[in-house]
Homo-oligomer: A and B are copies of this chain.
Amino acid sequence: MEIPVMSNILNKNDENAAELNSMLTSRGIFTVNLLGSPGCGKTSLLEQTVRLLKNQCNLAIVEGDLYTSKDADRLAGYGAPVVQINTRGGCHLDAAMVKAALTKLDLAAIDILVIENVGNLVCPAEFNVGEHAKVVVLSVTEGEDKPLKYPLIFRQSEAVILNKIDLLPYTSFAMDAAISDIRGLNPQASLLQTSCRTGEGLTAWTEWLKAKASQTRKQAKYDLGG
């Protein structure tokens, strides 16, 4: 009984996500579904991303959380509009939630939209939310074994961000093994190493975002016959 119902839910979500994706593409809004465990540093990465990019392009953020607005509150002062989604205990965002959240943003004023999903390495990987790219953040304090233990999310992500590299000297994280396992799961993924404390690697990340945003803008113009 569980499997057909789950399949119906996923099909309906895929329809909603495809519709949302078309709308976002047509408007030239590059959209990231930002994924990772609780505490891997997704919100810290967004704080630094907005700080670095706010004079170069128009970012907007959708924050997913079970009950609180803690992450949206943290981001509020950084200079990008933020909309909070509360899943009321739900373990992932879905496309319908994101669609509803987007009604609270001025889409004409957005170049890059980042949707920070619920902190969870499992369930969010199964639900598209209209994004052009999934990006997964793994903090080095979580251990190098995580890509093989949670392979779906690493397979699906266009970029993998190894975060908190300032803590590498105090952990036993085996960077070579992590990179080798990620490459094995997903040879095409962009691999970035960042520290939101020291700023290391953040420019490579913002350049990645800008390059992707430029592609989406070109696609939007092309679709318009421009």
A65 within 8 A of B: yes
Are B151 and A39 in touch, CB under 8 angstroms? no
Are B68 and A149 in touch, CB under 8 angstroms? yes
A70-B164 contact given A38-B121, A39-B37, A122-B123, CB 8 Å threshold: no
A39-B141 contact given A121-B119, A149-B70, CB 8 Å threshold: yes
Docked complex: A43-67 residues within 8 A CB-CB of B: 65-67
27 A-B residue pairs with Cβ-Cβ distance under 8 Å, sorted by A, are A37-B37, A37-B39, A38-B142, A38-B146, A38-B149, A38-B150, A39-B139, A39-B142, A39-B143, A66-B122, A66-B149, A66-B150, A67-B148, A68-B149, A70-B148, A70-B149, A89-B122, A89-B152, A91-B120, A91-B123, A119-B149, A119-B150, A120-B122, A122-B123, A123-B123, A141-B167, A167-B171
Q: Please give, as numbers and ranges, the residues of chain B lying within 8 Å of A68 by CB-CB distance.
A: 145, 148-149
Closest 10 CB pairs of A and B: A39-B142, A141-B141, A91-B122, A37-B38, A39-B143, A37-B37, A38-B121, A91-B123, A5-B5, A70-B145
A2 within 8 A of B: yes
The CA-CA distance from A139 to B122 in the complex, in Å, is 19
A118 within 8 A of B: yes
Counted per complex, copies of this chain come to 2
The CA-CA distance from A68 to B171 in the complex, in Å, is 23
A1 within 8 A of B: yes
A170 within 8 A of B: yes
Residue of B nearest to A41 (CB): B143
Distance in angstroms from A27 CB to nearest chain B CB is: 31
Interfacial residues, chain A to chain B (CB-CB below 8 A):
1-2, 5, 8-9, 37-39, 65-68, 70, 89, 91, 118-123, 139, 141-143, 145-146, 148-152, 164, 166-167, 170-171
The CA-CA distance from A70 to B5 in the complex, in Å, is 32
The CA-CA distance from A146 to B67 in the complex, in Å, is 11
Are B170 and A65 in touch, CB under 8 angstroms? no
Distance in angstroms from A187 CB to nearest chain B CB is: 19
Q: Please give, as numbers and ranges, the residues of chain B lying within 8 Å of A9 by CB-CB distance.
A: 2
